[in-house]
Structure 1
Amino acid sequence: VALDLRLDALAELMVLLAAGVGALVLLYCASYFTDDTPQLGRFAGNLLAFAGAMLALVLADDLITLYVFWELTTVFSYLLIGHGSEHRHSRRSALQALVVTTFGGLAMLVGFLILGQAAGTYRISAIVADPPETTLAVSVAVVLVLCGALSKSAIWPFSMWLPNAMAAPTPVSAYLHAAAMVKAGVYLVARLAPAFADVPVWKPVVLVLGGATMLLGGWRALRLNDLKLVLAYGTVSQLGFLTLLAGTGNRDAALAAVAMILAHALFKAPLFLVTGIVDHAAGTRDLRKLSGIGRSLPYVAGVAVLAAASMAALPPLLGFAA
């Protein structure tokens, strides 16, 4: 196994998101947690370790290296979601995320091994530049790799782990579920689409499941009153849209996906962080009880309005450009 790393435009974008949003989340943690918060040092260590694994994942230019860091993000996300493990719901949600993404990752590993053997190399850039001939084995490998990618990005039928993971502390939700972990699957789809979008099984899987996730996530978000869950299901819907764009194999759609990855991280992470502030201030996340909260938190309300306007694609914000 070669520790091959490669920084191209797509990897550079993901590095900037993982590092930039991660730094902002760490600053937010300074005010979110108190000095007497139990196991705070372990939480900070796990968050930094997750960030390091995520950076290595997007820089990896070897399938096996990518898989190793892929599973490291799974392990550290389990520890972060389960922080505050005195609550049974937190433990159960962390375990669900671990099981779903681990089994998806194992399927992906088998797919990687088949692809590596078929291509004669495990170097990702070489496989994308000269993909193996489409055979039954390659088609099976593509489906297995997509299982791993779609489970990581909470695409239906793997969606439920992400809303349940909202039991995690707000900084975890802002980082893992807006800017980092859930984008790993979309990143992998975007990375491999130029090579495998013409494989017959690719587009039916990516487009049907991505489209279904987009619609089901949006429908579910509109039926909820818990602010954090509304954002979670909105994220599921947007991940479906991103997967659909990234998986088409079309250059214009791929550029749109890249712009949307950036826009989504920059409006969804602040919305999650605002939710944590509102929850601390009001003692509730129930939208029916939050009328007028903006008057007592004017600066927070301003950030929320800007982020929500970008999410709604209002000009001249980044969400509109994306």
Structure 2
Amino acid sequence: VPTWIDAARLYRLVIAKLDDVAVWITGRTQRGDLSFYLYIILAVTVIAPISVMFFPSNVDDSTISLPNAAFFGDWMLTGHPIYLVAAAVMIVAAIAAIRAKRRFWAVLLVSTTGYGLAAIFAFQGSPDLALTQVLVESVLTVAMVLGLRVLPPEIPKTQEKHDNQWARALLAISFGFTMMWVAATAMASRVADPISLAMPDLSYNEGGGTNIVNVTLVDMRAWDTFGEITVLAAVATGVASLVFIAERERKRRSITDVATGSVGHYNIANSAMNDTEVQSFANFFKVRRQPWIVAGATMAPERRSIIFEVITRLIFHAIIMVSLYLLIAGHNLPGGGFAGGLLAGIAFAIRYLAGGRYELEQSFRAPAGVILGSGLAVAAIAGLVPLFFGGEVFQAYDVEVLLPFFGHVHFASAVVFDIGVYLVVIGLVLDVLRSLGAEVDARYEVETRDRTEAEQRMTAARASAMTPGGHSDD
């Protein structure tokens, strides 16, 4: 290196320029704008596949050119007109969701697209996928509606240029057609038999079940499922940690310590009920009888619905029984631990919506974190036990036993793993209900009480100032 070159100074100069470039790039790409991030993600997702489709590399006689496979394959619009009806409903709901002015209606319309997809699965002959899609969409709808309570009801109008709206619409349509093209091309380009052809035999002979979907999840790819429920537990813990700032599990109060009708009061003047209706509700619920739900009496009269409480009392236990049936029968019939856990979670969501946060506490006493951990522990034990019998991790066994009154019983050890999945899903839903539901309720009541007390103090101060001996600014 020549003596006239200062290596240290040159190094600092290069690093400084790199820092300037990094700041410039960061300032233009990572600016906290979600819409901009979506622009970049969708644009790359559209451009990358199209570039491969139109400019394939290393195409020889044994490889199907992607454009040819897509354009000259045997295309069929639909196998039945009902698919077109479901697709039309989904498209209309998606467009209406974009045009919706209230967040609640936007959530319902988005959920409609999910239920439409479930209908397509059902008509396609995939009951497991249809059942799971319906349950997932229902739980997500409840979670989103609970989350909307901390947001303004109206969607704010954005001051966006007309050209930007057309650009966003064009990008969205391009993304949809690109994904459709990629899926069709991938299926049309297949040159070998799919491995799924062997799954029916593997499911029945190796997994001991006739439900290919469930056996695949809890047996053939149990490692993947275990990783997925671990992620679910981590996500639930993270959400709860963000919401529960002080502590995740508060000390539960006894129902007898909660004053009757003290939970959930709001301003009657701003509600759809007048004072007479509220008083009639209060008188009705003062009748000495066994309550329809455990904590219903703690709710304010204007928050209660006798019809909802009666229906909840009638269907809750039936839903729990059906969820257990899905868990046990899922190895041979549509269902499984995931679907059963979601259905049980919906049952607890109904209890919460009918009776408030104290009803949720009474319906399931164990902390959600304990349920999540127990589910992971059961799934892990189900995977480790085969090692003690000379098997492999997550290896499944079939047991044929003859029991009194039950007769011949076929038991697959993978059901134990499915029980772990069942518990994890229940714990996840309970965590969502307690974080986005019960915790938000508690904070709202504290804020309302503090605001009411402050208004009362201000009113008392004004009254004191107007009394003889006091003074008034007027």
TM-score (norm 2): 0.24
Give the number of the structure whose alpha-carbon radius of gyration is greater: 2
More helix by share: 1
